[in-house]
Structures are given as structure tokens and as C-alpha cells.
Amino acid sequence: MEPRTDAKVCGMGHSMKRKEDPRFIRGQGRYVDDIQLPGMLFMDIVRSPFAHARIKSIDTSRALQIPGVLAVITGETLAKYNLHWMPTLSADTQMVLPTEKVMYQSQEVAAVIATDRYTAADGVDAVEVDYEALPVMVDPFASLAPGAPVLRTDKKDKKDNLAFHWEAGDRAATDRAFREAEVVVSEDLYVPRIHVASIETCGCIADFNAAEGKLTVYMTTQAPHAVRTVFALVAGHVGLSEEKIRIVSPDIGGGFGGKVPVYPGYVIAVAASVVIGKPVKWIEDRMENLQADSFARDYHMKAELAATRDGKMLGLRIKTVADHGYTNASANPSKFPAGLFSICTGSYDLKHAFCEVDAAYTNKPPGGVAYRCSFRVTEAVHAIERIVDVLAQKLRMDPAELRMRNFIKPEQFPYKSVLGWEYDSGDYPRALKLALDKIGYAELRKEQAEKRKRGELMGIGICSFTEIVGAGPAKDFDILGLKMFDSAEIRVHPTGKAIARFGTKSQGQGHETTYAQIVAEELGIPAAHVQVEEGDTDTAPYGLGTYASRSTPTAGAAGAMAARKIRDKARKIAAQLLEVSEEDLVWEPGKFSVKGAPQRFKTIQELAFAAYTTPLSGGMEAGMEATSYYDPPNLTFPFGSYVCVVDIDRGTGMVKVRRFLAVDDCGNIINPMIVDGQIHGGLTQGLAPALFEEMSYDENGNNLAGSFIDYLLPTAMETPAWETDKTVTPCPHHPLGAKGVGESATVGAPPAIANAVVDALAHLGVRNIDIPITPEKVWKILKEKGVAE
């Protein structure tokens, strides 16, 4: 799409340089730990070495003797205020600090408040906790087995460890389709527990001003407004009232879903500040972050696909056991306990599908955040895109050909999926064809065949994913009852410059730039003159925040709608000033001119000035401001086709991603440079769980990847030079035709990589390797098949 505005205005389609960069490249970003308040104290947390244990006693005396240690807060302290439990985002319950039992390793046990971070750390070392170890449940299948010891003894009448059961689709009809099918493939697929590991950990400064009764919390949150409401609901009974709570989310050093939940540390810091009357800072270290903050994924799936012998897919069945840790703290919309997993029919025109999830409690940290994906879409896409390859293998059909044969056709959109979604728009064959042509698929297949003859292992993997983002329409989507609209408020100043505030919160996505471009697109005010603000609940309009690729589909749309309200008013003022009727005016970005007399026009700057300086007719009020609360009519469905080429070292099993081409379609694009950057980052966070990252536990619930020593973030050396391209299929219902892009690549990359590795070994009879595909997993196969060096 050619930009409608010139480079000076910098509306949609311009690769505008980011407005946030000047401060970041000078080291003048303002992250939570950069803020120092007068008299500020520091909090550090005592954590459980056991995954399951009864707390017999907590001795704080030695800690309290350390000069500078002011207080040690325990569950008993909080219980006095009835603040020792809190609700999770999935309306389950979670301990703030325990009074009886700890349920996972590294759970918060007590908090030390001291004058500085060094003394607080010494205080943590000096707190003596006496534990009685309890049997540990780490296996979700064992946890769900009949007769398993009940973990949530805090819940009256709970007789098992089932957190919830969820299902979608017609079970009977799907079963019938499977019984009648000529070909059925089935595969157990595990998408392991992973952790977002943003480079900035979580933290906050809670600052309670007793004189004003006002609480200000600077915190690493992707959803400041929702947090304010949660605080008001949780602590209303101790006098925290929502108008007296201000949440400030300053610059955020990466979120990826991990900064959506309200962690116990935040709540304890607030309690400490309220009790002590001074600002209290809490900053996690990396091990706390990895070991205690919300996990993602952890889905054990059995995926089955039914088809005809000539490759027509008929039905999909997926049964999942989900490990939720000790509480269901998933950051999901309330009506969707398994998120948007029912997108699992993917890009294919399937007539029958059924999926179900049994969620288990275990002695592991809670969570169920997304790791840069829209509510369990990654799991769903992994299931369908892997099982399609398994089918291709069984049918001895090229995986690209099988996909082409079963894609939802462009003319079928809007497409109603058998599991109930209405896909907005798409052209799947075009994206796959572009990807295949661009990477030289046919030549690669030839090269592979030649290499196979020489005993060399090379694989090509495809993934044609469909995303579902932009939650979401208020009729279906809420979190703790809060509808998932989002908002924008624009004020155009007399000199024609503007400030725009949004209910979302960027964590690197570049909202200060792209939102300004949206306003520029709609009003013709240069994006350089649009100041964007987010994250301060005292000033920004209410919104549900940034996650699930929802900012552009919701708040971005709100920005366009608010701008259009302003344009409507500007039109009225222009009509008055030009003495014509509104219908006689033509809009082009930045000005209204008279139809047939283009030399007679008023610029948006002139109209803004008039709004504040000229008596307005027709009862029009002064000023030029508008607010929009945008309730999206539907979700958006970005898609793409990825092709990955891998080489495998026959000596070590090491997989090298030689090439990776991503063709994405996220509808109309606001800033191509930023979209490309989002895709590069998403691909890397797809590569990471595909080959490196896994949060695993031993039989005692000990975390085995609790630091960057074993939780392996890829460096520039492991990360390939990503190649990208795009198709553009506008969203029919979004005011700008945009769909959102932040997470597409995270969702699409893992199956492309897994498919490539399996493809390299397919001639040896390999059907699946669970991610992360470590060298040893591959080597074991090579050894078994007698091809290891």
C-alpha cells in the first residue's frame, strides 16, 4: 500500500524513525529501577527451597538484629489485614504470603524491608524458616489420576486436582468422521513450559502517602488500569479506594506477557509501604524472575487428523493435559480458560473438529501467560502444523502441496470455522506461494535429495499459520469482568499539535511512533507533532493494556475513531470559516477544501486554532478533543507462511538453521520498519523454545533451569539472519484495515523449525521430535537409526 500522506506528515505506511529512541540511545529511558524516591526503602524476598512443605516456624529475630533491617513481613502479618490471599486473573486464588504451606519451589515466604538493597539481601539470608517437606506432585498426568493426593487443601470440598475442564466442538460428529476416514494420523506433542525472560525483570516502587491517603505504584505492568482496579478490589477493605490509587507503568524492558499478572511481590511492597509509610522498592533478580514468575505453555497434546487417501483433511481431534502449577493464574479472558486454543483448525477448511483441555494442579509455579502469543494460540498452531506434516509424511505427499489442497480459499472469507470463529480475511495460497518461490523451494528439495545420497542431513520445514488476536469484542471478552475494549483520547492544541493518550502500554512495540502515525493518517497533523502517552492511570483513559497483539486492533482503532471525531468537528468549523455547507467540503490529510475550488481550504492547524480562538456557530463548544472506547466487532486473523531450512551435524545432533523466510500478512501496515522488527523479534522467540528454552523440574519439584546458565536465551550467534516478506490482506472490520503483528512470528516459527528437523530425518522413519529440539534428542535418533558419526 502506498502511503496516503507525505513524509512530512508520516501517516500510515511510512517507516518513520521511532520517537522513543532518542531517550533510549542516550541511556535516558526511565525504567522502574531507575526511579529513586526520597526516603525509599528496599524489599527483598525469602523464598522456599521446597516445592511442597508445611511452614513450621519463621524466625525473624536474627534478621531484625541487622542494622538497617526495619521489618520482616510474613503471611501472619498480612493475615491480620486479610491480605494473605488474592485472586488470580483467572479467578482462582493465590497466596500473597503463606501462613501454612508452600506449594512450589521459590514461592514467596517472607519479605525483608531494609534501608538499601544490600542490607535487605543480608536480611533475607538471616531469616530462618523451619519447613516440613511434603510429597511433591510434578507430573500433571499423575495429578489427575484417580486417588491422587489433593493439593489444594485450602479449597473446601475440592476432591481432586482438576483446575478445570474445557472443550469445544462436536465430539460425536468428530468421532464419527474419524471412524469413517480412510487415513488417520495421531501424535503426542508436548509444548513445554517456558518463560518470557524479558531482559528487565519485574519490580515496583509502592509509595503510600498517608497524609493524602494516596497510593502511587510505579510498576512493570503491561496493564496498569486493570491492575489499579484489582488493587481496589483486593484492598478496598483496608481503605484503598480506586480514586486514590495511581499506577504508573514507566518504560518497560520487555513484557511478552510476563508483566500482565499481579505478582505477590507487588502486593507485599504495597502492604509494606502502607504500614511503614515510606516508599518501598522491590526488584526481582533474574533467578526469582525465572523461578517464580508466570510460566507459559506446558501443554501435553494428543493431536489426531483424519483425511482421505488423496489428502483431503476431514477432521481434527486434540486432547490436552495442561500443567497449571499450583493455581490457575492464566492471564486469559474469563470465558476462555484455554485461551483461544480453538483456533487449532488453523488455515484449513476442516468440517469436523473437537478439542478439550484438562488442567491439572501441580507443585510448580502458577501462570499460564502467553510468552508473546495470543492466549494459547502457539500451542494450537503447533498441534495443527505438526500434525499436518505427519499426515503429509504418511500420505507421501509434499507438505506444501497438502497445505495448498486444504487451505481455506480466499473466496471463502469471511470464513466461519467449525469451532466457531469468524476469520475476517485471508489469502493463504498467495502467502505460501510467495514463500516457496522466494526461498527456492524446488531447488532446495533437489539439494536435499542429493545430500541424502551423500548421507548429509538437511531438512525443509513449512508452517502456514493463522493467528487470532485483538481481544476482544465486549460481548465475549473480559478479564475479571472488565470488558476488553481499549481506548484513546486525543487533544489537539491551539497551534495544531496534539497529545494522544491510550489505555495500552508499550513494552518496546513503538506505540509512541505508530500511534502518532495513526493520528497523522487521520488528521494530517505530522506524526512528529503528536505526543503519545500511556501507562499513567491518572492521565490515560481506561484500557485493558498491551498483550495478545491487541494494541493495534483495539487501541489503535480507538485512536483512529477518536481522530475521526475530531475531524468531524474540524469539518464543522471549516464549513463555518469557509462559509459553505459541510457536504461541500473535501478532506485530504491535513485540510478541508471546497469542492471544485481547491484553492479555498483550511488546514487542520488553522481549524484547531479557530476552535480555541473563534466564536463557533451552531452551539459548538470550544476546544478540539475526543475520546474513543473502541469495542472491536470481531477479532483479527493475521496469517503467514514460513519456510525453514536446517542442517544437522551427524556427530553431535546439533541443528543449524541455515535459512528462515517469513512471509507475514498482518493487514494494512502502519510502520513497515517496526513491523519488520516485530517479526524479527517474534521469530527469535519462536526459535528459542524450538531449540533452546525449557523450564523443567526434577521429581522433587526443583527447578532445573532457574538462571541463564540453563535457561538458554539465543545469542546473535545462534540466531539466523531472518528473511522477511509480506502480503497485505486488509482487515475488513478494523478502521485502518490493520490486524496486529507482535506475536505472529512466535506462533509460526516453532512448527516451521520442528517440521524442518523432522523432515531432515523423515527418511529414517522419524515422525516427531518434541521441542526444544536439543542436540541430544537428535543424536539419540541418529544413533538409533545407525547414522550417527
Partner 1 sequence: MIPAPFDYHAPATVPEAVALLTRYRDTAKVLAGGQSLLPLLKLRLGAAAQLVDIGRIPGLEYVEERGNTLRIGGCTRESTLERSELVRARYPILLDTAKVIADPVVRNRATVGGNLAHGDPANDHPATMLALGAEVVAVGPKGERTIPVDRFFRGLFEVALEPDEILTEIRIPAPPARSGGAYAKLERKVGDFATAAAAAQVTLGSSGTVERAGLALTNAGATPIRVEAAEAYLKGKKPERATLAEAARLAAQAATPQADRRGTVEYKRQMARVMAQRALESAVARAGGR
Partner 2 sequence: MARHAIRLTVNGAAREAEVESRLLLVHLLRDVLRLTGTHIGCDTTHCGACTVLLDGEPVKSCTVLAVQANGRELTTVEGLEQGGKLHPVQEGFMEKHGLQCGYCTPGMLMTGCALLRRNPRPTEQEIREAISGNLCRCTGYVNIVRAMQYAAEHMG
By beta-carbon proximity to partner 1, the closer residue of 175 and 710 is: 710
Q: Which one of residues 579, 715, 721, 786 is an interface residue with partner 1 (CB under 8 A)?
A: 715
Residues 6+ apart with CB under 8 A from 311: 391, 392, 395, 397, 401, 402, 405, 406
Which listed option, partner 1, partner 2, none, makes contact with residue 201 (CB within 5 to 8 Å by class)? partner 2
CB of residue 465 to partner 2, shortest distance in Å? 18
Whether the CB-CB separation of 61 and 81 falls below 8 Å is answered with no
Question: Which of 287, 397, 404, 480 forms a contact with partner 1 (CB under 8 A)?
Answer: 287
Binding partner at 665 among partner 2, partner 1, none, C-beta below 5 to 8 Å by kind:
none
Least distance CB 250 / partner 1 (angstroms): 23
User: In the complex, what is the shortest distance from the CB of residue 252 to partner 1, in angstroms, rounded to a whole number?
Assistant: 22
404-423 residues near partner 1, rule: CB under 8 A: none
Question: Of these, 85, 214, 780, 787, which contacts partner 1 (CB under 8 A)?
Answer: 780
- Single out the catalytic residue among 94, 105, 107, 222: 222
Interacting span for partner 1 (CB under 8 A) from 360-368, 472-480, 576-584, 648-656:
648-656
- As measured in angstroms, the least distance from the Cβ of 780 to partner 1 is 8
Part of the chain binding partner 1 (CB under 8 A), chosen from 4-12, 54-62, 188-196, 281-289? 281-289
Nearer to partner 2, 251 or 770 (CB): 251
Contact 245, 229 (CB under 8 A): no
For the CB of residue 783, give the shortest distance to partner 1 in the complex, in Å. Answer: 8
Of residues 175, 285, 625, 723, which one binds partner 1 by CB under 8 A? Answer: 285
Exposure string of 466-481, with b = 16+ CB inside 10 Å and e = fewer, is bbbbbbbeeeebbbee
Cis peptide before 38 (omega within 30 of 0): no
Comparing CB distances to partner 1, the nearer of 238 and 704 is 704
Burial class (CB in 10 A: 0-12, 13-18, 19+), 786: exposed
Q: What is the dihedral of CA 233, 234, 240, 242, to 10 degrees?
A: -30
Min. distance of Cβ 112 from partner 1 in angstroms? 12
Evaluate whether 518 touches 268 at the Cβ level (below 8 Å): no
Could you give the angle at the alpha carbon of 757 between the alpha carbons of 753 and 763, nearest 5°?
145
Interface pick for partner 1 out of 35, 577, 654, 728 (rule CB under 8 A): 654
Q: Does residue 776 touch partner 1 according to CB under 8 A?
A: yes
Q: 679 in helix, strand or coil?
A: helix
| Residue 720 in the binding site for partner 1 (CB under 8 A) | no
Query: How do beta strands 367-369 and 295-307 pair?
Result: parallel
785 makes contact with partner 1 (CB under 8 A): no
Q: Of the candidates 45, 269, 548, 705, which one interacts with partner 1 according to CB under 8 A? A: 705
Tell me how far apart the alpha carbons of residues 634 and 69 are, in angstroms, rounded to a whole number: 53
**How far is residue 453's CA from residue 473's CA, in Å, rounded to a whole number?**
54
Partner from partner 1, partner 2, none contacting 167, C-beta within 5 to 8 A by type: none
In angstroms, what is the minimal distance from the CB of 712 to partner 1?
5
Contacting residues toward partner 2, per CB under 8 A: 17-18, 20-31, 33-34, 36, 116-118, 196-201, 251-256, 285-287, 507-510, 673-674, 676-677, 680-685, 707-709, 713, 715-717, 719, 721-722
| Residue of 256, 329, 187 whose CA lies nearest to 688 | 256
* 743 in active site: yes
Q: What is the DSSP string of 71-117?
A: EEEEHHHHHTTT-SEEE-TTS-EEESS-SSEE-STT-EEEEEEESSH
Minimal distance, residue 380 CB to partner 2, in Å = 23
Please give the residues from 125 up to 144 whose contact with partner 1 meets the rule CB under 8 A.
125
Which x/- pattern, by CB under 8 A, does the window 625-644 give for partner 1? --------------------
- Sites for partner 1 among residues 665-704 (CB under 8 A): 692, 704
Nearer to partner 2, 178 or 547 (CB): 547
222 among known catalytic residues: yes
- Residue 40 contacts partner 1 per CB under 8 A: no
Question: Which of partner 1, partner 2, none does 141 bind, CB closer than 5 to 8 A by kind?
Answer: none
Query: What minimum distance in Å lies between the beta carbon of 644 and partner 2?
Result: 14
Q: How far is the CB of 708 from partner 1 (least distance, A)?
A: 8
Rg (C-alpha) for the chain, rounded Å, is 27
Binding partner of residue 18 among partner 2, partner 1, none, CB cut-off 5 to 8 Å per kind: partner 2
Give the x/- contact pattern for partner 1 in 592-631, rule: CB under 8 A: ----------------------------------------
Write b or e for each residue in 279-295: b if 16 or more Cβ atoms lie within 10 A of its Cβ, otherwise e: bbbbbbeebbbbbbbbb
Q: Give which of 501, 473, 467 is closest to 485, Cα–Cα.
A: 473
**Residue type (1 letter), 164:** F
Nearer Cβ to partner 2 (338/679): 679
Min dist. Cβ of residue 707 to partner 2 (A): 5
Nearest approach in angstroms of CB 284 to partner 1 is 11
Where helices occur in 637-740 by DSSP H, the ranges are 672-691
Name which position in 454, 717, 721, 786 contacts partner 1 (CB under 8 A): 717
Cα–chain center distance at 32: 21
CB 630 within 8 A of CB 565: no
CB 489 within 8 A of CB 625: yes
What is the rounded distance in angstroms from the CA atom of residue 789 to the CA atom of residue 671?
48
The secondary structure of residue 554, as a DSSP letter, is I
What are 348's three cell numbers? Answer: 484449513
Stretch that binds partner 1, among 325-333, 601-609, 661-669, 781-789 (CB under 8 A): 781-789
Q: CB atoms < 10 A from the CB of 564, how many? A: 15
| For partner 2, the closer CB: 87 or 254 | 254
For 180: left if phi > 0, alpha if psi spans -120 to 50, otherwise beta; the answer is: alpha
Helix (H) or strand (E) holding 540: none
> Looking at beta carbons, which pairs linking 76-80 to residues 24 or more positions away fall under 8 Å?
77/271, 78/268, 78/271
- By CB atoms closer than 10 A (0-12, 13-18, 19+), residue 25 is exposed
C-alpha–C-alpha distance, residues 544 and 562, integer Å: 17
193, 297, 372, 659: the active-site residue? 372
Which region, judged by CB under 8 A, interacts with partner 1, from 166-174, 285-293, 594-602, 636-644? 285-293
Instruction: Give the one residue of 35, 37, 64, 121 binding partner 1; rule: CB under 8 A.
Output: 121
Q: Give 3-state DSSP helix, strand, coil % of the chain, rounded to 5.
A: 30, 25, 40
d(C-alpha 80, C-alpha 238), whole Å: 11
Binding to partner 1 in span 153-212, by CB under 8 A: none
Q: How many whole angstroms separate alpha carbon 627 and alpha carbon 491? A: 9
Considering only residues 99 to 118 of the shown chain, the ones binding partner 1 according to CB under 8 A are: 117-118
Choice between 438 and 780, CB closer to partner 1: 780
CA distance 95 to 107: 9
Q: Which of the following is catalytic: 10, 344, 355, 373?
A: 373
Instruction: Pick the binder of partner 1 from 15, 652, 668, 702 (CB under 8 A).
Output: 652
Catalytic positions: 222, 372-373, 743
Residues that bind partner 1 (CB under 8 A): 117-118, 121-122, 125, 285-287, 651-652, 654, 692, 704-705, 709-710, 712, 714-715, 717-718, 774-776, 779-780, 783, 788-789
